[in-house]
Amino acid sequence: MPTSGRTRIKDLLDVERLDNVSNPVAVNGWVKTVRSSGGVSFVQINDGSSLADLQIVVDASCPDYALVGNLTTGCSLTVFGVLQESLGRGQKYEVVASSLEMLGGADPEEYPLQKKRHTLEFLRELAHLRPRTNTFGAVARVRNAMAFGIHQFFQQRGFLYIQTPIITASDAEGAGAMFRATTLDLDNLPTQAGHVDNDADFFGRPAFLTVSGQLEAEIFAQAMSDVYTFGPTFRAENSNTSRHLAEFWMVEPEVAFCDLDGLAQLAEDFLRGIFAHVLETCPEDMAFFNRFYDKELIATLEDIANSDFERMTYTEAVRLLEESGESFEFPVRWGADLQSEHERYLTERKVGRPVIVTDYPSAIKAFYMRLNDDGETVRAMDVLVPRIGEIIGGSQREERLDVLQRRMVEAGLDDAPYWWYLDLRRYGTTPHAGFGLGFERTVQFATGMQNIRDIIAFPRTPRSAEF
């Protein structure tokens, strides 16, 4: 079984000239379809390296010809053969097999992925097999390219990639409901004066899965200036929407010596850069999404990559919504948070491009966002894109110790666990800012997929943690 001598199907399909190929080649893959006519069989195989399958031609001259009868959709295969220009239509090259070896069969009576198109809902129940479908292969490749593009974007600008903890003891960052991480025996909880004895828990106090790496990223920004995290975050919010997961990946740059305008520019350059990157590096997969999921997809992304984002304050956004004449499900009122329907109206209908909304009322935003001189609004920003709504949430951080402490009191927060966060304002404080980008929402936007559960390999949502 050759592993080292194996050639990826993509590399074969991409060759410019056949004389660059040292025939015979060895390829592996899983069978998509088998078709026979007039003593010749055509086997489409795919190894995940590209959207396109490789056609294997097997005829009576191949000593393993008899094996073709056993090949069915889903079985795995090693093929030796000669890459040649395809005689048939639909592909440039094909491999004429000189030998075949079936590695693992897939009983056609049982294999759940049949040739027909399956619904995305059905495939969610088969998360162990769905990567073999065109759609999920394409999602996996685009997701990979975007993750790489994100690192490349920051690395080229000198940002330091840092890793922040997944388990945290700060229980009120204000970003969302948390999962508790505990080793206590839930059937037999130790108690102390009628309450759970947290001292008996692993960390000697309650601990949780993080909702954001921001606070720790701020520590590093206050030493390294430009940093970013890219890691998993967890939110125990019971929102069964097409845009929420209980476990998702977040990209969080944090920049010292930077105000909100600088941050908004970074967010814009960043989104435009990664959309340009995915169009450039995944042309086939993107053409596939454009064809099957959203006919406007590539045009929309090209547009975004090439045009400025609109900017408006929250107060302006509220005025535009009030003047819109739309009947929204949630009423529009200065002081209330923008709902998804409001966000989508602004970006889809009003502006037709991504919109950066800034300066939200302090009452609806987190304690660490920098208070404006009006005393009512904070230097927050949300980046809104068509179809998804919010894709980025960020802010300039409150760098003034006294204001921050006052805000924590107003938010009803005990500042003791945040002693280190406050220290950053005591010693060499700087204006600084950062944002969080939901990675799955971004891939969802870039692929035109309707549901975020089809963007992450193994989605965690309320009442669902299979695989």
Site string for ligand ATP, 91-130 (x = CB under 6 A): ----------------------------------------
DSSP string, 343-398: HHIIIIIIISS-EEEEEEEGGGS-TTBPBPTTSSEEEEEEEEETTTEEEEEEEEB-
Residue whose Cβ sits closest to Mn ion: 393
- Cβ atoms of 113 and 78 closer than 8 Å: no
User: Does residue 29 interact with Mn ion by CB under 5 A?
Assistant: no
Q: Quick one: DSSP state of residue 309?
A: P
From ligand ATP, Mn ion, none, which one binds at residue 411 (CB under 5 to 8 Å depending on kind)?
none
DSSP 3-state assignment of 78? strand
Closer residue to Mn ion (CB): 74 or 393: 393
Identify which of 221, 263, 259, 219 has the alpha carbon closest to the alpha carbon of residue 431.
Answer: 259
Amino acid at 362: S
Site string for Mn ion, 393-422 (x = CB under 5 A): x-----------------------------
DSSP string, 273-327: HHHHHHHHH-HHHHHHHHHHT-TTHHHHHHHHHHSPPEEEEHHHHHHHHHHT---
User: Does residue 231 interact with ligand ATP by CB under 6 A?
Assistant: no
Q: Taking the complex as a whole, how short is the minimal distance between the CB of residue 106 and ligand ATP, in angstroms?
A: 34
Q: Taking the complex as a whole, how short is the minimal distance between the CB of residue 459 and ligand ATP, in angstroms?
A: 10
User: Does residue 268 interact with ligand ATP by CB under 6 A?
Assistant: no
Bond preceding residue 459 cis, omega within 30 of 0: no
Q: How far apart are CA 442 and CA 389, in angstroms?
A: 11
Residues with Cβ within 8 Å of 117's Cβ and at least 6 positions away in sequence, in order, are: none
Closer residue to Mn ion (CB): 230 or 289: 230
- Out of 54, 113, 250, 263, the residue judged to bind ligand ATP by CB under 6 A: 250
Q: How far apart are the first and last CA of the chain?
A: 29
Tokens of 95: 């491999």
Size of the site for ligand ATP (CB under 6 A): 16
User: Does residue 440 interact with ligand ATP by CB under 6 A?
Assistant: yes
User: Does residue 457 interact with ligand ATP by CB under 6 A?
Assistant: no
Identify which of 1, 110, 91, 107 has the alpha carbon closest to the alpha carbon of residue 43.
Answer: 91
Identify which of 423, 410, 305 has the alpha carbon closest to the alpha carbon of residue 366.
Answer: 410
Sole window of 21-29, 79-87, 389-397, 400-408 interacting with Mn ion (rule: CB under 5 A): 389-397
Q: Taking the complex as a whole, how short is the minimal distance between the CB of residue 410 and ligand ATP, in angstroms?
A: 19
Beta bridge partners of 271: none
Sole window of 65-73, 276-284, 349-357, 386-394 interacting with ligand ATP (rule: CB under 6 A): 386-394
User: Does residue 81 interact with Mn ion by CB under 5 A?
Assistant: no
- Out of 277, 365, 441, 453, the residue judged to bind ligand ATP by CB under 6 A: 441
What's the residue count for the chain? 467
Which helix (H) or strand (E) element contains residue 140? helix 134-156
Closer residue to Mn ion (CB): 83 or 385: 385
For tokens 């920051």, what's the residue? Answer: 154
Sole window of 163-171, 213-221, 266-274, 390-398 interacting with Mn ion (rule: CB under 5 A): 390-398
- Out of 137, 231, 436, 459, the residue judged to bind ligand ATP by CB under 6 A: 436
User: Does residue 248 interact with ligand ATP by CB under 6 A?
Assistant: yes
Beta bridge partners of 54: 45
Q: Taking the complex as a whole, how short is the minimal distance between the CB of residue 98 and ligand ATP, in angstroms?
A: 49
Sole window of 3-11, 123-131, 150-158, 240-248 interacting with ligand ATP (rule: CB under 6 A): 240-248
Q: How far apart are CA 199 and CA 94, in angstroms?
A: 66
Q: How far apart are CA 419 and CA 71, in angstroms?
A: 65
Binding interface with Mn ion (CB under 5 A): 393
Binding interface with ligand ATP (CB under 6 A): 175-176, 235, 244-245, 248, 250, 390-393, 436-438, 440-441
